[in-house]
Amino acid sequence: MGELALALAYLGAGIGAGFVTFGAGYGIGKIAASAMDGTARQPEAGGAIRTTMIIAAAMIEGVALFGAVICFMLSNK
């Protein structure tokens, strides 16, 4: 039963890491699209929009990294 549990842990970690990567990519894509739309509608606000976009993307990347680390830690438990 130990080998099956280990195999399922590896499978769960791989699937979890995939979901984390997909979610981060989707979130950053949505942020970039919204920032481009906002800059196109109001070009004078481009600097503020860009700064906010970079901060939000960094937060998403941080959460994605945390999720991936948790997935790999659970696979080695």
25 token code pair: 């990519």
Q: Mean pLDDT, to the nearest integer, of 40-57?
A: 93
How far is it, in rounded angstroms, from Cα 40 to Cα 14? 39
Instruction: Reply yes or no on whether the pLDDT at 77 is more than 70.
Output: no
How far is it, in rounded angstroms, from Cα 23 to Cα 2? 31
Q: Mean pLDDT, to the nearest integer, of 33-57?
A: 93
Q: Mean pLDDT, to the nearest integer, of 53-77?
A: 87
What is the reported pTM?
0.77
CATH class entry, domain 2-75? mainly alpha
The predicted structure's pLDDT at residue 6: 81
Domain ranges, ordered by start, for the chain:
2-75
